[in-house]
């Protein structure tokens, strides 16, 4: 009897971003049947992919993220009793795929954390408003007693390393601003999108970061929330995490003929499960040994010079580390814990080299002086070097990601790397359009259950 072999193709395995208008209409209808009243609006915030700059945002390094067309939608209506009632249409959230329990908070904490953080604006308790213009704080502070009914749907794979949690936080932040703040009242419906200046968005990003770090307890660094609120269509954000200043670099030249594709390995990762924090703590212990202690307000970024840092500085820093650890196998971090010196050295090397790769990419993407194929080849090479470092130095990769990277490169991709926090999540591939199907077929041979997401740099959080 003939054997039929069903092979999934790129098209069949695509995870679509969906049609925002259709999604919004469906969500509004579901809102009515869930809460027995109409939603007053729908807000969207995107997930992200990061070209380079993993595990360095919390060291003040440069990151190069872009907003995805995929994101989280929130339909909402206000309440005056201070209560947040939340429901999701997302089976992955609903089934508890985001773990809950004493050491792993439920997805609802991300939402409550954002309201808590916005309510703290202007109280002097947040540390956010030290330099912020008081008018911005007034604009974005919810009125007393503000609460909301919320219905949530996400098209970013939950736990896929593409910032589903930041998309959730940022979409809810916009909903709260739209429904319960002076800026929202003065700018009804779609008007809010253009009324939100970059300064408003930067302050909102800080509020969402604070929700994730202080309320949820994930020691993340702010990359995800920044790009979700401040990304732009056809742009890669060049984000300097020392002060969260951004440049928006045009990708039109690079992406003429080439595409970014995210491969979701379907191995979920969680930033609250301890491994992420452990890697960060080891890097901070290495930094402290070199005199850049977070406890004293320093960041590892200071270990490299301000302008055009050269590789030499990395070598010098590593030599300095070796000299200081010549007679010991453990070092003490700024948190008072002891860490394995060899592991800390690897984290240090990853962080410094990743920072250099970001600086190089920033220059390449700013200049646009290269021939197209040459530029894609150079950028791809940097991406792949980033993966090797994630695998061997940061040690946050995992076998499925390594195999997908190798397969994509063998099938002709210009570059490929694991993105996000690691220990699960997605691989980002840069590939010529003509080779996309070959790359997808090679990846699907490794695991027929993979999902692909088109990564076209998209607009930031907005009203839909
Ligand atoms: C997660 C965190 C970010 C960043 C990345 C790794 O996405 O939320 O802050 O640290 O991991 O680069």
Instruction: Say whether pLDDT at 415 is over 70.
Output: yes
Query: Atom 2 (ligand 1): residue with closest C-alpha?
Result: 220
Beta strands in 335-448 (DSSP E): 338-340, 415-418, 426-432
**How many angstroms separate the alpha carbon of residue 223 from the centre of ligand 1?**
6
Mean pLDDT for all residues in the chain? 92
Per-residue DSSP letter, 159? T
**How many angstroms separate the alpha carbon of residue 305 from the centre of ligand 1?**
23
Residue length, the chain?
464
Q: Which of 224, 327, 373, 402 is catalytic?
A: 224
Q: Is the pTM of this model over 0.75?
A: yes
Per-residue DSSP letter, 463? E
Share of the chain above pLDDT 70, in %: 91
What is the secondary structure of 235-299 as a DSSP string?
A: EEEEEETTTTEEEEEE-TTTTSSEEEEEEE-S----TTSSHHHHHHHHHHHHHHHTT--GGGT--
Q: What is the structure's pLDDT at 371?
A: 62
What's phi and psi for 101, nearest 5 deg?
Answer: 140, 180
Among positive and negative, which fits the CA dihedral 394, 400, 403, 408? negative
SS3 state at 305? coil
Share of the chain above pLDDT 90, in %: 83
Instruction: Say whether pLDDT at 103 is over 60.
Output: no
d(CA 202, CA 215): 19
Quick one: pLDDT band at residue 26, thresholds 50, 70, 90? Answer: very high
Nearest atom, ligand 1, residue 54 CA: 12
pLDDT digits (tens, 9 = 90+) for 265-296: 998 877 667 899 999 999 999 999 999 999 99
Instruction: Say whether pLDDT at 97 is over 50.
Output: no
Question: Of the residues 223, 275, 386, which should be mutated to test ligand 1's pocket, given the most ligand atoms within 8 Å of the CB?
Answer: 223
Instruction: Say whether pLDDT at 453 is over 70.
Output: yes
Count CB neighbours of 443 within 10 A. 28
Residues having CB closer than 6 A to ligand 1 are 54-55, 57-58, 163, 220-224, 271, 420-421
d(CA 401, CA 392): 13
Q: What is the structure's pLDDT at 243?
A: 96
Question: Of the residues 262, 358, 383, 420, which should be mutated to test ligand 1's pocket, given the most ligand atoms within 8 Å of the CB?
Answer: 420
Per-residue DSSP letter, 43? E
**How many angstroms separate the alpha carbon of residue 81 from the centre of ligand 1?**
35
Instruction: Say whether pLDDT at 101 is over 50.
Output: no
Q: Are the C-beta atoms of residues 211 and 165 closer than 8 Å to each other? A: no
Nearest atom, ligand 1, residue 57 CA: 10
Quick one: pLDDT band at residue 367, thresholds 50, 70, 90? Answer: confident
pLDDT (average), residues 97-122: 77
pLDDT (average), residues 326-341: 97
Instruction: Say whether pLDDT at 370 is over 90.
Output: no
Between 310 and 243, the more confident residue is 243
Query: Atom 1 (ligand 1): residue with closest C-alpha?
Result: 421
Nearest to 347 by CA among 61, 11, 34: 61
Instruction: Say whether pLDDT at 172 is over 70.
Output: yes
Question: Of the residues 46, 54, 269, 358, which should be mutated to test ligand 1's pocket, given the most ligand atoms within 8 Å of the CB?
Answer: 54
CA distances from 189 to 178, 196, 242, 380, 464 (A): 8, 12, 34, 41, 9
Nearest atom, ligand 1, residue 166 CA: 8
Query: Atom 8 (ligand 1): residue with closest C-alpha?
Result: 220
Nearest to 348 by CA among 284, 418, 427: 284
Q: What is the structure's pLDDT at 102?
A: 43
Per-residue DSSP letter, 143? P
Quick one: pLDDT band at residue 95, thresholds 50, 70, 90? Answer: very low
Q: Are the C-beta atoms of residues 185 and 199 closer than 8 Å to each other? A: no
**How many angstroms separate the alpha carbon of residue 421 from the centre of ligand 1?**
5
Q: Catalytic site residue 139? A: no
Nearest atom, ligand 1, residue 165 CA: 8
Q: Give the pairing type, strands 338-340 and 415-418.
A: unpaired
């Amino acid at each position: 009897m003939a054997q039929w072999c069903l092979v999934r193709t790129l098209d069949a395995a695509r995870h679509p971003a969906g049609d925002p208008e259709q999604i919004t209409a469906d969500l509004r209808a579901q809102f009515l049947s869930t809460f027995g009243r109409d939603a007053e609006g729908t807000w969207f915030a995107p997930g992200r992919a990061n070209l380079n700059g993993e595990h360095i945002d919390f060291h003040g390094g440069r990151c190069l993220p872009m907003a995805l067309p995929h994101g989280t939608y929130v339909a909402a209506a206000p309440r005056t009793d201070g209560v947040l009632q939340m429901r999701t249409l997302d089976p992955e959230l609903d089934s508890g795929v985001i773990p809950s329990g004493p050491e792993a908070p439920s997805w609802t904490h991300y939402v409550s954390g954002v309201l808590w953080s916005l309510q703290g604006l202007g109280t002097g308790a947040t540390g956010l408003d030290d330099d912020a213009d008081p008018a911005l704080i007034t604009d974005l502070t919810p009125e007393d007693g503000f609460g909301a009914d919320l219905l949530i749907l996400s098209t970013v794979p939950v736990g896929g390393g593409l910032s589903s949690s930041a998309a959730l936080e940022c979409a809810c932040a916009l909903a709260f601003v739209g429904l319960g703040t002076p800026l929202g009242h003065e700018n009804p419906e779609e008007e809010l999108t253009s009324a939100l200046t970059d300064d408003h968005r930067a302050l909102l990003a800080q509020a969402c970061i604070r929700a994730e770090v202080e309320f949820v307890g994930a020691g993340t660094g702010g990359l995800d929330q920044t790009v979700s609120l401040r990304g732009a269509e056809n742009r890669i954000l060049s984000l300097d995490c020392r002060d969260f200043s951004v440049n928006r670099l045009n990708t039109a030249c690079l992406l003429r003929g080439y595409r970014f594709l995210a491969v979701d390995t379907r191995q979920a990762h969680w930033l609250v499960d301890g491994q992420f924090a452990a890697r960060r703590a080891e890097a901070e212990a290495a930094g402290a040994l070199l005199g850049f202690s977070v406890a004293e307000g320093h960041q590892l970024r200071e270990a490299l010079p301000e302008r055009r840092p050269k590789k030499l500085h990395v070598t010098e820093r590593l030599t300095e580390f070796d000299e200081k650890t010549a007679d010991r196998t453990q070092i003490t971090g700024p948190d008072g814990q002891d860490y394995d010196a060899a592991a800390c050295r690897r984290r240090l090397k990853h962080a410094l080299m990743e920072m250099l790769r970001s600086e190089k990419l920033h220059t390449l993407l700013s200049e646009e002086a290269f021939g197209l194929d040459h530029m894609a080849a150079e950028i791809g090479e940097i991406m792949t070097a980033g993966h090797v470092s994630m695998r061997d130095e940061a040690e946050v990769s995992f076998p499925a990601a390594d195999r997908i990277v190798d397969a994509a490169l063998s099938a002709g991709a210009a570059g490929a790397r694991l993105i996000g926090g690691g220990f699960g999540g997605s691989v980002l591939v840069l590939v010529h359009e003509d080779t996309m199907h070959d790359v997808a077929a090679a990846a699907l041979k490794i695991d027929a259950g993979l999902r692909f997401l088109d990564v076209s740099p998209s607009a930031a959080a907005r009203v839909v």
